[in-house]
Amino acid sequence: MSLSIDVPLKSRNSFSVNAITPALYSADSIDALIEIAHKLEQPFYILGEGSNTLFVEGAAPVIIQAAFKGVEIIKTQDHYQLKVAAAESWHDLVCRCVEQGIAGLENLALIPGSVGAAPVQNIGAYGVEFSDICQSVSWFCFETKKLKKIKKLECGFEYRNSIFKAELKGKGIITSVTLILPKISKPKLQYAGLDILSSNATPKEIMAKVIEIRRSKLPDPKFLPNAGSFFKNPVVSLDLYHELLAVYPKMPSYPQGKNKVKLAAGWLIEQAGLKGFRLGCVGVHEMQALVIVNYGSEKGEDIRNLALHVQKVVFHKFSIKLEPEVRMIGKSGEVSL
Ligand code: NAP
């Protein structure tokens, strides 16, 4: 277990805002987690690579990081089973699988963040979600000081949500995930951009296309700090959908079961006239309205204020309250927008 005191977090969050944690614990073994659990006081926050976190105050709570590393691949007759430790990089894992001819992760290329963060928000892109390939998640409980294997069906996976953001929030830490990937899998090519590929495109070709599309639309946080999509795509009732469609016949929409429709948050923000909008040193990205970028502010509060403005303007125009995908963290823990 390592413990560092008064640690600046600017280089540990992809918005690159200033915040200081009084204590940063890092654990790469269960023994280390047990030691931390004995000392731990609320509030604390589990931080991965900081690519979905906005520190909204100058002070942050105590931070815990899982430093577990390693990838184990087991071949069964029909599947590959991968046990991957929490501190591995998600994108490196995708590349490794594609290089080894293991299909199933290629649509999820270039998603920033660690493997341990993937189940928390059930990461997803281009028609594939983490829950599609998850078998189980290993989670250390700070109260019982024991490691628990949580099976996929117990993870409460939903669109950008899971039990780790709900009932288990603040109660433990993910140490590894187990993925199950069929040896024979059908490429998922229904999203625009991938639909131009041939129906038997290889995982390598799909990954290359996903990377090309993402690079053309999404700013690289190394050069323009951001946390990817700031808001979730709203899922609305059929009634509201039809009301809006009458006014905006070109509005993109995706049915969710029989009674709900998913709308594109980026489209709503753009229609509200906010694509490229700036507020001081922060702004809505010029190419992708779903992304908020930091042009040079030191303060997470500035980003939060812009997000509040976006939420207000979109609500005024469409009667839809956008909910953030990014997690907002103040001195006393997670806060809402
Ligand atoms: P887009 O093509 O501009 O489409 C806007 C939204 O419509 C997407 O977010 C997607 O929802 C939905 N959509 C598009 N085609 C769809 C289809 N065939 N079936 C169902 N829903 C569809 O999207 P984009 O912003 O460039 O993003 C492309 C993909 O990368 C999306 O899956 C997006 O979630 C993912 N992405 C995620 C992040 C992040 O930070 N989490 C950042 C960038 C992109 P879904 O989001 O539900 O897929």
Could you give the CA distance from residue 147 to residue 86 in angstroms, rounded to a whole number?
14
Please report the pLDDT score of residue 251 as a whole number. 97
Q: Whose CA is nearest to atom 36 of ligand 1?
A: 125
* From 12, 160, 304, 327, the catalytic residue: 160
Residues with CB under 6 A from ligand 1: 124-126, 190-192, 217-218, 228-229, 233, 252, 254, 264, 266, 290, 325
CA of 164 to the centre of ligand 1 (A): 23
CA of 1 to the centre of ligand 1 (A): 39
Instruction: Tell me whether residue 212 is one of the annotated catalytic residues.
Output: no
pLDDT tens column, 204-225: 999 999 999 999 999 999 999 9
pLDDT tens column, 254-266: 999 889 999 999 9
pLDDT tens column, 294-331: 999 999 999 999 999 999 999 999 999 999 999 999 99
**DSSP characters over 279-327:** ETTEEE-SS-TTEEEESS-S-HHHHHHHHHHHHHHHHHHHS----BSSE
Please report the pLDDT score of residue 185 as a whole number. 86
Q: First-to-last CA distance in the chain?
A: 33
Cα dist. 138→37, 82, 134 in Å?
A: 16, 13, 11
**DSSP characters over 59-93:** B--EEEEE----EEEEE-SSEEEEEEETTSBHHHH
Instruction: Tell me whether residue 297 is one of the annotated catalytic residues.
Output: no
CA of 290 to the centre of ligand 1 (A): 10
Instruction: Tell me whether residue 229 is one of the annotated catalytic residues.
Output: yes
Q: pLDDT-based confidence at 271, cuts 50/70/90?
A: very high
